[in-house]
């Protein structure tokens, strides 16, 4: 005759060693307490009073165990070998692993978000990762003088000057240049290829393989015809990508309360990937969110991640939003 064991009992919860039939904790599963127990009315009442509570405790344990396993899978994912052939590092802790190696080389990516969400930091981190790997990059500043960007980013502990001196980074103020051209009445005659070639001239001076346009919209200088603007931008991006060696990050500011991702509604369709940065209140906490909305040709599901901005490191992913901030 087989010896009885709590392991074979439907009332036994192995994770917490609870017997929900009698409302007690089992100390030895091979010696079922029910064999020596005398059921009384009082014990029956005890079971009725506590059985729901015990089930809730066990359910909570199972949920936490499931959460722990999910976190383990996420950490394991981040430990996968980085940088496959044809991909370039984003420079952001955790993001390369999620993308399976980084951005696809030679493509254009849109980083969108409201003001103050970290778009410029993202783009500079992308360039800095390349410079540290001897991959030259060009930063085109549209809204803010380049020297202010260089000075401001020192607050994060990033000194760009050594890379500039080694011709691994180049910072350009393009707004003034294009403003002069537009004010001379050349806007209607100016071809997007001319703008792209003007940018490429600077790119080729240092053999850059990375390019940042921060932000993209002012480059259009308030065109009167949105359809013209869209075709202009389409040809601009196609010309840049025709080189096949330049990976571009362009930023786009989202007006507060707007659901759009760009000014002209075409940037997101032309970009190979879209990353939306935001700040939100979630379960009583103010958190920074990175929303990977689109990644063409990469096996990445749309997903949201918590991130922090850390001195000397910049943007650092902490993990998926639903995992880190799910209810305990």
pLDDT in tens, 27-40: 888 888 777 665 44
Q: Which domain holds residue 175?
A: 82-324
What pLDDT score was predicted for residue 149?
93
Same domain, 106 and 196: yes
Contact between 307 and 107 (Cβ < 8 Å) = no
Per the DSSP assignment, residues forming a β-bridge with 249 are: 109, 212
Cα 201 from Cα 212, distance rounded (Å) = 14
Same domain, 38 and 87: no
- Which tokens hold the place of 222? 């308030």
Contact between 19 and 43 (Cβ < 8 Å) = no
Same domain, 66 and 107: no
Same domain, 154 and 291: yes
Say if 205 falls within a structural domain.
yes
How many domains are contained in the chain?
2
Q: Which of 47, 73, 99 is the last residue of a domain?
A: 73
Q: Which residues contact 57 (CB under 8 A, 6 or more apart)?
A: 16, 18
Cα 160 from Cα 173, distance rounded (Å) = 16
Q: Give ∠ CA 195-264-175 in degrees, rounded to 5.
A: 40
Same domain, 191 and 320: yes
Same domain, 223 and 302: yes
For the segment 119-137, the average pLDDT, to the nearest whole number, is 97
Say if 31 falls within a structural domain.
yes
Say if 1 falls within a structural domain.
no
Same domain, 121 and 215: yes
Say if 194 falls within a structural domain.
yes
Contact between 131 and 169 (Cβ < 8 Å) = yes
* 163-201 residue pLDDT tens: 999 999 999 987 666 665 555 555 545 667 777 888 899
Same domain, 57 and 200: no
Same domain, 140 and 220: yes
| Coil, strand or helix at 28 | coil
Residue 158, pLDDT > 90, answer yes
Contact between 292 and 96 (Cβ < 8 Å) = no
Between strands 103-104 and 87-88, the pairing is antiparallel
Residue 10, pLDDT > 80, answer no
Say if 251 falls within a structural domain.
yes
Cα 259 from Cα 106, distance rounded (Å) = 28
| Coil, strand or helix at 91 | coil
Q: pLDDT > 90: what percent of the chain?
A: 39
Same domain, 17 and 149: no
CA dihedral 313, 318, 319, 321 (to 10 degrees): -120
Same domain, 55 and 160: no
Q: Interhelix angle for 192-205 vs 226-241, to 10°? A: 30
């Amino acid at each position: 005759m087989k010896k009885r064991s709590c392991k074979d009992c439907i009332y036994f919860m192995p994770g917490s060693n609870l017997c929900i039939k009698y409302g007690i904790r089992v100390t030895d599963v091979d010696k079922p307490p029910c064999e020596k127990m005398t059921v009384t009315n009082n014990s029956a009442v005890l079971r009725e009073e506590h059985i729901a509570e015990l089930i809730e405790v066990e359910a909570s344990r199972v949920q936490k165990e499931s959460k722990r396993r999910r976190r383990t899978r996420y950490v394991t994912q981040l430990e996968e070998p980085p940088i496959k052939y044809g991909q370039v590092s984003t420079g952001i802790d955790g993001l390369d692993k999620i993308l399976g190696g980084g951005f696809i080389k030679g493509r254009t990516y849109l980083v969108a978000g409201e003001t103050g969400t970290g778009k410029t930091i993202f783009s500079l981190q992308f360039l800095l990762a390349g410079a540290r790997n001897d991959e030259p990059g060009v930063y085109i500043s549209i809204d803010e003088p380049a020297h202010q960007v260089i000075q401001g980013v020192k607050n994060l502990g990033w000194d760009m000057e050594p890379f500039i001196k080694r011709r691994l980074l180049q910072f350009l103020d393009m707004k003034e240049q294009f403003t002069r051209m537009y004010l001379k009445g050349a806007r209607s005659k100016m071809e997007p290829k001319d703008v792209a070639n003007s940018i490429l001239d600077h790119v080729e001076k240092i053999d850059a393989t990375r390019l940042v346009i921060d932000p993209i919209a002012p480059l259009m200088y308030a065109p009167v015809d949105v359809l013209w603007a869209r075709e202009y931008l389409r040809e601009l991006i196609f010309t840049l990508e025709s080189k096949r060696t330049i990976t571009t990050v362009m930023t786009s500011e989202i007006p507060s309360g707007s659901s759009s991702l760009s000014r002209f509604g075409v940037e997101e369709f032309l970009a190979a990937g879209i990353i939306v940065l935001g700040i939100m209140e979630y379960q009583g906490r103010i958190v920074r969110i990175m929303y990977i909305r689109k990644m063409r040709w990469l096996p990445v599901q749309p997903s949201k991640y918590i991130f922090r901005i850390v001195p000397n490191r910049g943007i650092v992913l902490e993990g998926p939003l639903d995992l880190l901030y799910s209810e305990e």
